[in-house]
Amino acid sequence: MTTAPVPIPADWPTTEERARAVQDALRARVVLDEPGPPPGTGRVTGVDVAYDDARDVVAAAAVVLDAGTLAVVAEATAVGRISFPYVPGLLAFREIPTVLAALEALPCPPGLVVCDGYGLAHPRRFGLASHLGVLTGLPTIGVAKNPFTFTYDDPDAPRGSTSPLLAGAEEVGRAVRTRDAVKPVFVSVGHRVGLGNACAHTLALTPAYRLPETTRRADALCRAALRDAAYPV
């Protein structure tokens, strides 16, 4: 496994005003009219991050799985300094440089990327999954543990049941039941994937647990990388 150090880019936004301007500029590049790769084919990669604010350190992990068997194909981590303060709606700016470094350290193409977070289900319709997809050109989806500020009706109890995740009358994602009678996850499109396909991928990635295998494995790996990080430097 490769671990990559991450410098903060010289032109990275440092203010909320500048970060929102970057969101506005990049949001227009999100592609919503592609279905995305079929579930169970090719590769699928989970990305996640862990923080140690006391040390000003963030660790990211990228774990590539075979989409058919869910076996691990490759994995990489990256460790760097936190690149932006905590501001709701701008969390991607804390994570993107380190996540990009982990993806770039992989020895193989990642295929579909699954983020532990949001895509269009975001107050500005440009969460981490959309931001990462636009920057890399990769198909991306967000699978979140909670509905953020959005509303939904509880899906029916059986696994596979869904209900719209709503901002007013606008559907920004779906609540997806991945285990019978267990709290749903919240799926949204990031880039170059349709919502129905994003939900199908989520179900394919959850054969035994509520959260996708991509998220479970990336979460464990980034936490280990953070624990072992030789920071501060």
Burial 46-55 (b: 16+ CB within 10 A, else e): bbbbbbbeee
In the chain, how many domains are there? 1
| 10 pLDDT higher than 90 | no
Residue 61: which domain range? 2-228
Q: Is residue 82 part of a domain?
A: yes
Tell me the residue type at 106: L
130-165, pLDDT tens digit by residue?
999 999 999 999 999 999 999 999 999 999 999 999
Q: Is residue 133 part of a domain?
A: yes
Q: Is residue 233 part of a domain?
A: no
CA count, 13 A, side-chain hemisphere, 173: 36
Query: 139: which residues sit within 8 A by CB, 6+ positions away?
Result: 34, 36, 37, 111, 112, 113, 133, 190, 191, 192, 193
Q: What CATH number is associated with residue 213?
A: 3.30.2170.10
48-96, pLDDT tens digit by residue?
999 998 888 999 999 999 999 999 999 999 999 998 999 999 999 999 9
Strand order in 112-115's β-sheet? 2-6, 72-81, 57-66, 43-52, 112-115, 140-144, 185-191, 170-176, 162-167
Q: Is residue 102 part of a domain?
A: yes
pTM of the model: 0.94
| 233 pLDDT higher than 50 | no
